[in-house]
Amino acid sequence: MNLDSLDGDHTPTPWKLRMPGSFGTDDVMVAMTYPLEPDEQRKAKANARRIVACVNACAGIPTEILEGIWQLAKVQSEVDSP
């Protein structure tokens, strides 16, 4: 699969946190986080909330740029590690 052709195919922003642990737009539920244990529901909702915040903060930035920034940060942390 050619990932370059997928950049504009994602669900448009803004995404919203919907029911506990799910996220998407008003029209589309994109995904849901599932807690592994009943007491991890709070963590699952926090993960969903973070995903929504990241997607909305990155609106308009091409995926290739985001991937490049992540790769650069990973290389920099390896260089900085003792």
- What's residue 56's pLDDT? 92
**Count of structural domains within the chain:** 1
pTM of this structure: 0.67
What does the pLDDT look like over 17-53, one tens digit per residue? 877 667 777 777 777 777 677 778 888 888 888 988 9
CA atoms of 44 and 35, how far apart (whole Å): 5
- SS3 state of residue 81: coil
Domain that holds residue 35: 3-80
- pLDDT band per the 50, 70, 90 thresholds, residue 1: very low
Q: What are the Cα distances from residue 65, in Å, to 18, 26, 58, 62?
A: 28, 27, 10, 5
The answer to whether the beta carbons of residues 11 and 27 sit under 8 Å apart is no
- pLDDT band per the 50, 70, 90 thresholds, residue 2: very low
- What's residue 20's pLDDT? 63
